[in-house]
Structure 1
Protein backbone atom coordinates (compact mmCIF):
# COMPACT_ATOMS: atom_id res chain seq x y z
CA UNK A 1 0.00 0.00 0.00
CA UNK A 2 1.13 3.54 -0.75
CA UNK A 3 1.94 6.00 1.94
CA UNK A 4 0.24 9.43 2.01
CA UNK A 5 3.46 11.04 0.75
CA UNK A 6 3.69 8.69 -2.22
CA UNK A 7 0.04 9.44 -3.06
CA UNK A 8 0.80 13.20 -2.94
CA UNK A 9 3.85 12.68 -5.18
CA UNK A 10 1.77 10.64 -7.66
CA UNK A 11 -0.92 13.33 -7.73
CA UNK A 12 1.69 16.05 -8.25
CA UNK A 13 3.28 14.02 -11.04
CA UNK A 14 -0.13 13.44 -12.67
CA UNK A 15 -1.02 17.14 -12.47
CA UNK A 16 2.36 18.08 -13.90
CA UNK A 17 1.93 15.57 -16.74
CA UNK A 18 -1.62 16.81 -17.46
CA UNK A 19 -0.44 20.43 -17.63
CA UNK A 20 2.38 19.42 -20.02
CA UNK A 21 -0.06 17.48 -22.22
CA UNK A 22 -2.52 20.40 -22.31
CA UNK A 23 0.30 22.78 -23.29
CA UNK A 24 1.46 20.41 -26.06
CA UNK A 25 -2.11 19.96 -27.37
CA UNK A 26 -2.70 23.75 -27.33
CA UNK A 27 0.60 24.32 -29.16
CA UNK A 28 -0.32 21.73 -31.82
CA UNK A 29 -3.76 23.29 -32.23
CA UNK A 30 -2.22 26.77 -32.60
CA UNK A 31 0.34 25.48 -35.08
CA UNK A 32 -2.48 23.99 -37.18
CA UNK A 33 -4.12 27.41 -37.43
CA UNK A 34 -0.78 29.10 -38.14
CA UNK A 35 -0.15 26.83 -41.15
CA UNK A 36 -2.73 28.59 -43.35
CA UNK A 37 -1.19 32.10 -43.16
CA UNK A 38 2.31 30.58 -43.32
CA UNK A 39 1.33 28.67 -46.49
CA UNK A 40 -0.13 31.82 -48.04
CA UNK A 41 3.00 33.83 -47.19
CA UNK A 42 5.32 31.18 -48.65
CA UNK A 43 3.19 30.95 -51.82
CA UNK A 44 3.15 34.74 -52.13
CA UNK A 45 6.93 35.01 -51.74
CA UNK A 46 7.78 32.13 -54.07
CA UNK A 47 5.00 32.66 -56.62
CA UNK A 48 3.74 29.10 -56.15
CA UNK A 49 0.01 28.39 -56.57
CA UNK A 50 -0.86 31.73 -58.15
CA UNK A 51 -2.78 30.38 -61.16
CA UNK A 52 -6.16 31.62 -60.05
CA UNK A 53 -5.24 34.93 -58.49
CA UNK A 54 -6.56 38.18 -59.89
CA UNK A 55 -3.96 40.19 -61.81
CA UNK A 56 -3.93 43.24 -59.54
CA UNK A 57 -2.06 45.47 -62.00
CA UNK A 58 -4.42 44.65 -64.85
CA UNK A 59 -6.96 47.35 -63.90
CA UNK A 60 -4.33 50.01 -64.59
CA UNK A 61 -3.60 48.33 -67.93
CA UNK A 62 -6.86 49.80 -69.28
CA UNK A 63 -5.14 53.16 -69.48
CA UNK A 64 -2.10 51.96 -71.42
CA UNK A 65 -1.47 52.75 -75.02
CA UNK A 66 -2.90 50.24 -77.45
CA UNK A 67 -0.23 48.95 -79.83
CA UNK A 68 -2.11 49.11 -83.15
CA UNK A 69 1.02 48.22 -85.09
CA UNK A 70 0.56 44.51 -84.38
CA UNK A 71 -2.10 41.92 -83.65
CA UNK A 72 -1.90 38.88 -81.43
CA UNK A 73 -4.08 35.86 -82.16
CA UNK A 74 -5.62 34.48 -78.96
CA UNK A 75 -6.83 30.88 -79.14
CA UNK A 76 -9.33 29.64 -76.56
CA UNK A 77 -9.46 26.04 -75.41
CA UNK A 78 -11.64 24.28 -72.85
CA UNK A 79 -11.48 20.88 -71.16
CA UNK A 80 -13.79 19.44 -68.52
CA UNK A 81 -13.35 16.67 -65.97
CA UNK A 82 -16.50 15.14 -64.52
CA UNK A 83 -20.14 15.79 -65.46
CA UNK A 84 -19.52 19.16 -67.14
CA UNK A 85 -19.73 20.33 -70.72
CA UNK A 86 -17.44 23.32 -71.14
CA UNK A 87 -16.49 25.39 -74.20
CA UNK A 88 -15.54 28.89 -75.33
CA UNK A 89 -18.14 30.76 -77.37
CA UNK A 90 -15.43 31.62 -79.89
CA UNK A 91 -12.23 29.74 -80.66
CA UNK A 92 -9.97 32.63 -81.69
CA UNK A 93 -9.80 36.37 -81.36
CA UNK A 94 -7.29 38.86 -82.82
CA UNK A 95 -6.33 41.62 -80.38
CA UNK A 96 -3.98 44.58 -80.29
CA UNK A 97 -1.68 44.52 -77.24
CA UNK A 98 -3.06 46.90 -74.61
CA UNK A 99 -6.65 46.48 -75.80
CA UNK A 100 -9.14 45.30 -73.15
CA UNK A 101 -11.17 42.38 -74.47
CA UNK A 102 -13.94 40.09 -73.24
CA UNK A 103 -14.58 36.51 -74.26
CA UNK A 104 -17.36 34.25 -73.01
CA UNK A 105 -17.22 30.60 -71.95
CA UNK A 106 -20.23 28.35 -71.46
CA UNK A 107 -20.48 25.56 -68.92
CA UNK A 108 -23.33 23.08 -68.49
CA UNK A 109 -23.87 20.76 -65.55
CA UNK A 110 -25.17 17.60 -67.20
CA UNK A 111 -26.14 15.94 -63.93
CA UNK A 112 -29.37 15.95 -61.95
CA UNK A 113 -27.38 17.07 -58.89
CA UNK A 114 -25.59 20.23 -57.83
CA UNK A 115 -21.91 20.32 -58.81
CA UNK A 116 -19.16 22.47 -57.37
CA UNK A 117 -16.25 23.05 -59.76
CA UNK A 118 -13.13 25.16 -60.32
CA UNK A 119 -11.42 26.19 -63.56
CA UNK A 120 -7.63 26.22 -63.78
CA UNK A 121 -5.99 28.24 -66.60
CA UNK A 122 -2.85 27.47 -68.54
CA UNK A 123 -1.06 29.37 -71.27
CA UNK A 124 1.04 28.57 -74.31
CA UNK A 125 3.69 29.59 -74.98
CA UNK A 126 4.75 29.60 -71.34
CA UNK A 127 6.55 32.94 -71.75
CA UNK A 128 3.20 34.61 -72.51
CA UNK A 129 1.86 33.88 -69.03
CA UNK A 130 3.22 37.05 -67.45
CA UNK A 131 1.85 39.23 -70.29
CA UNK A 132 -1.71 37.86 -70.33
CA UNK A 133 -3.52 39.86 -67.64
CA UNK A 134 -6.98 38.70 -66.53
CA UNK A 135 -9.10 41.51 -65.07
CA UNK A 136 -12.19 39.38 -64.50
CA UNK A 137 -12.37 35.60 -64.71
CA UNK A 138 -14.61 32.78 -63.55
CA UNK A 139 -11.42 30.95 -62.58
CA UNK A 140 -10.95 33.30 -59.60
CA UNK A 141 -13.70 31.52 -57.64
CA UNK A 142 -15.32 28.13 -57.31
CA UNK A 143 -18.52 27.71 -59.30
CA UNK A 144 -21.64 26.03 -57.95
CA UNK A 145 -23.86 24.76 -60.75
CA UNK A 146 -27.41 23.60 -60.10
CA UNK A 147 -28.74 20.43 -61.74
CA UNK A 148 -28.75 20.80 -65.56
CA UNK A 149 -27.79 24.49 -65.29
CA UNK A 150 -26.03 26.26 -68.18
CA UNK A 151 -24.05 29.39 -67.40
CA UNK A 152 -22.19 31.95 -69.53
CA UNK A 153 -19.04 33.23 -67.86
CA UNK A 154 -16.80 36.12 -68.99
CA UNK A 155 -13.05 36.47 -69.10
CA UNK A 156 -11.97 40.11 -69.34
CA UNK A 157 -8.30 40.42 -70.25
CA UNK A 158 -5.59 42.55 -71.75
CA UNK A 159 -2.34 41.49 -73.42
CA UNK A 160 0.52 43.61 -72.09
CA UNK A 161 2.14 45.66 -74.88
CA UNK A 162 5.52 44.51 -73.51
CA UNK A 163 4.82 41.04 -74.92
CA UNK A 164 7.89 40.00 -76.94
CA UNK A 165 7.48 40.76 -80.64
CA UNK A 166 8.17 37.16 -81.66
CA UNK A 167 5.00 35.93 -79.88
CA UNK A 168 2.20 36.03 -82.45
CA UNK A 169 -0.24 33.54 -80.88
CA UNK A 170 -1.27 32.88 -77.29
CA UNK A 171 -3.40 29.90 -76.31
CA UNK A 172 -5.54 30.26 -73.19
CA UNK A 173 -6.71 26.86 -72.02
CA UNK A 174 -8.99 26.12 -69.08
CA UNK A 175 -9.62 22.79 -67.43
CA UNK A 176 -12.81 22.64 -65.35
CA UNK A 177 -12.62 20.14 -62.46
CA UNK A 178 -15.47 18.91 -60.31
CA UNK A 179 -14.62 19.50 -56.64
CA UNK A 180 -17.46 17.54 -55.07
CA UNK A 181 -17.47 13.76 -55.34
CA UNK A 182 -20.74 12.08 -56.34
CA UNK A 183 -22.49 10.38 -53.42
CA UNK A 184 -22.34 6.94 -55.03
CA UNK A 185 -18.54 7.18 -55.40
CA UNK A 186 -18.02 8.41 -51.84
CA UNK A 187 -20.24 5.67 -50.41
CA UNK A 188 -18.55 2.88 -52.34
CA UNK A 189 -15.11 4.15 -51.34
CA UNK A 190 -15.84 3.80 -47.60
Structure 2
Protein backbone atom coordinates (compact mmCIF):
# COMPACT_ATOMS: atom_id res chain seq x y z
CA UNK A 1 0.00 0.00 0.00
CA UNK A 2 1.42 3.36 -0.97
CA UNK A 3 1.76 6.27 1.39
CA UNK A 4 -0.69 8.33 -0.71
CA UNK A 5 -3.28 5.56 -0.49
CA UNK A 6 -2.85 5.38 3.32
CA UNK A 7 -3.31 9.17 3.60
CA UNK A 8 -6.55 8.95 1.60
CA UNK A 9 -7.85 6.22 3.92
CA UNK A 10 -6.99 8.29 7.02
CA UNK A 11 -8.71 11.33 5.51
CA UNK A 12 -11.85 9.28 4.79
CA UNK A 13 -11.90 7.84 8.33
CA UNK A 14 -11.64 11.35 9.82
CA UNK A 15 -14.48 12.62 7.60
CA UNK A 16 -16.69 9.66 8.45
CA UNK A 17 -15.99 10.09 12.17
CA UNK A 18 -16.90 13.77 11.94
CA UNK A 19 -20.13 12.92 10.07
CA UNK A 20 -21.11 10.31 12.68
CA UNK A 21 -20.49 12.81 15.52
CA UNK A 22 -22.52 15.48 13.72
CA UNK A 23 -25.40 13.05 13.16
CA UNK A 24 -25.33 12.03 16.81
CA UNK A 25 -25.46 15.68 17.93
CA UNK A 26 -28.24 16.44 15.47
CA UNK A 27 -30.26 13.53 16.88
CA UNK A 28 -30.11 15.08 20.36
CA UNK A 29 -30.99 18.52 19.00
CA UNK A 30 -34.11 17.21 17.24
CA UNK A 31 -36.13 16.74 20.45
CA UNK A 32 -35.99 20.38 21.64
CA UNK A 33 -36.34 21.63 18.06
CA UNK A 34 -39.44 19.48 17.59
CA UNK A 35 -40.92 20.79 20.86
CA UNK A 36 -40.36 24.40 19.77
CA UNK A 37 -41.86 23.67 16.36
CA UNK A 38 -44.95 22.04 17.93
CA UNK A 39 -45.37 24.91 20.42
CA UNK A 40 -45.28 27.47 17.62
CA UNK A 41 -47.53 25.64 15.16
CA UNK A 42 -49.77 23.67 17.51
CA UNK A 43 -48.97 20.51 15.58
CA UNK A 44 -49.00 17.14 17.32
CA UNK A 45 -51.72 18.34 19.67
CA UNK A 46 -49.39 20.15 22.04
CA UNK A 47 -51.15 22.85 24.01
CA UNK A 48 -49.65 25.82 25.76
CA UNK A 49 -48.24 25.31 29.25
CA UNK A 50 -49.31 28.79 30.28
CA UNK A 51 -52.68 30.21 31.19
CA UNK A 52 -54.61 31.96 28.46
CA UNK A 53 -56.32 35.26 29.12
CA UNK A 54 -60.07 35.35 29.44
CA UNK A 55 -61.86 35.44 26.09
CA UNK A 56 -62.70 38.99 25.01
CA UNK A 57 -63.88 38.16 21.47
CA UNK A 58 -67.41 37.21 22.43
CA UNK A 59 -69.24 33.93 21.90
CA UNK A 60 -70.12 32.44 18.51
CA UNK A 61 -73.57 31.00 19.23
CA UNK A 62 -74.00 29.88 15.62
CA UNK A 63 -71.62 26.96 16.18
CA UNK A 64 -71.55 24.12 18.67
CA UNK A 65 -68.34 22.19 19.29
CA UNK A 66 -68.12 18.83 21.07
CA UNK A 67 -65.21 18.62 23.51
CA UNK A 68 -64.31 15.13 24.69
CA UNK A 69 -62.12 14.36 27.71
CA UNK A 70 -59.87 11.32 28.04
CA UNK A 71 -57.39 10.36 30.74
CA UNK A 72 -54.49 7.90 30.78
CA UNK A 73 -52.11 6.74 33.48
CA UNK A 74 -48.46 6.23 32.66
CA UNK A 75 -47.10 2.82 33.47
CA UNK A 76 -46.60 2.22 37.16
CA UNK A 77 -48.56 5.12 38.71
CA UNK A 78 -51.06 3.67 41.21
CA UNK A 79 -53.69 6.38 40.88
CA UNK A 80 -57.23 6.64 39.71
CA UNK A 81 -57.51 9.50 37.24
CA UNK A 82 -60.56 10.33 35.15
CA UNK A 83 -62.66 13.19 33.85
CA UNK A 84 -65.85 13.76 35.83
CA UNK A 85 -67.58 14.60 32.53
CA UNK A 86 -66.63 12.65 29.38
CA UNK A 87 -68.01 15.13 26.86
CA UNK A 88 -69.59 18.59 26.69
CA UNK A 89 -70.93 20.89 23.99
CA UNK A 90 -69.57 24.44 23.85
CA UNK A 91 -70.00 27.50 21.67
CA UNK A 92 -66.66 28.93 20.50
CA UNK A 93 -65.69 31.69 22.92
CA UNK A 94 -67.80 30.27 25.77
CA UNK A 95 -65.86 29.65 29.00
CA UNK A 96 -66.42 26.25 30.60
CA UNK A 97 -65.27 24.59 33.82
CA UNK A 98 -64.81 20.82 34.04
CA UNK A 99 -63.21 18.70 36.73
CA UNK A 100 -61.04 15.63 36.82
CA UNK A 101 -60.93 13.19 39.74
CA UNK A 102 -57.65 11.80 41.03
CA UNK A 103 -56.95 9.42 43.88
CA UNK A 104 -53.62 8.08 45.09
CA UNK A 105 -54.21 4.36 45.72
CA UNK A 106 -50.64 3.82 46.91
CA UNK A 107 -49.47 3.50 50.49
CA UNK A 108 -46.96 6.32 49.88
CA UNK A 109 -47.13 9.97 48.86
CA UNK A 110 -46.83 10.56 45.11
CA UNK A 111 -46.42 13.68 43.01
CA UNK A 112 -48.19 13.51 39.66
CA UNK A 113 -47.96 15.69 36.59
CA UNK A 114 -50.57 15.68 33.83
CA UNK A 115 -49.49 16.28 30.24
CA UNK A 116 -52.21 17.40 27.79
CA UNK A 117 -52.67 16.63 24.13
CA UNK A 118 -55.38 17.84 21.75
CA UNK A 119 -56.77 16.03 18.74
CA UNK A 120 -57.04 16.94 15.94
CA UNK A 121 -53.61 18.55 16.24
CA UNK A 122 -54.65 21.68 14.32
CA UNK A 123 -57.17 22.47 17.11
CA UNK A 124 -54.46 22.71 19.79
CA UNK A 125 -53.79 26.41 19.14
CA UNK A 126 -57.52 27.17 19.48
CA UNK A 127 -58.03 25.31 22.76
CA UNK A 128 -57.33 27.97 25.40
CA UNK A 129 -56.80 26.85 29.02
CA UNK A 130 -57.46 29.67 31.49
CA UNK A 131 -56.84 27.48 34.53
CA UNK A 132 -55.55 23.91 34.46
CA UNK A 133 -54.29 21.37 36.94
CA UNK A 134 -51.71 20.48 34.28
CA UNK A 135 -49.91 23.78 34.95
CA UNK A 136 -48.78 22.47 38.35
CA UNK A 137 -47.50 19.32 39.98
CA UNK A 138 -50.17 17.41 41.90
CA UNK A 139 -48.85 16.04 45.21
CA UNK A 140 -51.22 13.52 46.82
CA UNK A 141 -50.67 11.77 50.12
CA UNK A 142 -51.38 8.03 50.40
CA UNK A 143 -55.11 7.35 49.84
CA UNK A 144 -55.83 11.07 49.28
CA UNK A 145 -58.23 12.12 46.53
CA UNK A 146 -58.91 15.43 44.86
CA UNK A 147 -61.03 17.14 42.21
CA UNK A 148 -58.87 19.13 39.81
CA UNK A 149 -60.24 22.00 37.72
CA UNK A 150 -59.84 22.85 34.07
CA UNK A 151 -61.29 26.16 32.88
CA UNK A 152 -61.12 26.72 29.13
CA UNK A 153 -62.69 28.09 25.99
CA UNK A 154 -62.40 27.23 22.32
CA UNK A 155 -61.25 30.21 20.28
CA UNK A 156 -63.82 31.61 17.86
CA UNK A 157 -61.22 31.33 15.06
CA UNK A 158 -61.40 27.50 15.18
CA UNK A 159 -61.65 26.30 11.55
CA UNK A 160 -65.20 25.49 10.42
CA UNK A 161 -64.34 21.89 9.56
CA UNK A 162 -63.45 21.09 13.20
CA UNK A 163 -66.57 20.09 15.13
CA UNK A 164 -65.07 17.76 17.73
CA UNK A 165 -62.00 18.30 19.90
CA UNK A 166 -60.56 15.59 22.12
CA UNK A 167 -58.47 16.67 25.10
CA UNK A 168 -56.37 13.84 26.47
CA UNK A 169 -54.29 13.94 29.65
CA UNK A 170 -51.59 11.44 30.56
CA UNK A 171 -50.64 11.42 34.24
CA UNK A 172 -47.01 10.71 35.14
CA UNK A 173 -45.37 9.90 38.48
CA UNK A 174 -42.68 12.56 38.93
CA UNK A 175 -42.03 11.93 42.63
CA UNK A 176 -38.33 11.18 42.11
CA UNK A 177 -37.87 14.22 39.89
CA UNK A 178 -39.35 16.79 42.26
CA UNK A 179 -36.92 19.22 43.87
CA UNK A 180 -37.41 19.67 47.59
Q: TM-score, normalised by structure 1?
A: 0.67
| Rg comparison, structure with higher value | 1
> How many residues are paired up?
137
Tell me what 1:75 maps to: 68
Give 2:124's match in structure 1, choosing from 121, 124, 129.
Answer: 129
SS of 2:134's equivalent in the other structure is helix
Task: Tell me if the contact between 1:78 and 1:88 (Cα under 8 Å) persists in the aligned partners.
Answer: yes
Alignment of 1:4-153 (within 5 A): 46=36, 51=47, 53-55=49-51, 58-61=52-55, 63-81=56-74, 82-153=77-148
The equivalent residue for 1:36 is none
Which region of structure 1 is more displaced relative to structure 2, 76-85 or 161-170? 76-85
C-alpha displacement of 1:80: 1.2
Shift, 1:160, TM fit? 0.2
TM-score (structure 2 length as normaliser): 0.70
Q: Any unmatched runs of 5+ in structure 2?
A: 1-31, 40-45
Greater helix fraction, Structure 1 or Structure 2: 1
Displacement after TM superposition at 1:123 (Å): 0.6
Distance 1:51 1:74 in 2: 15
Structure 1: 5+ residue runs without aligned partners? 1-41, 182-190
Runs of 4+ in 1 over 4 A off after TM superposition: 47-52
C-alpha distance in structure 2 between counterparts of 1:48 and 1:126, whole Å: 10
* Distance (Å, rounded) in 2 between the aligned partners of 1:52 and 1:164: 19
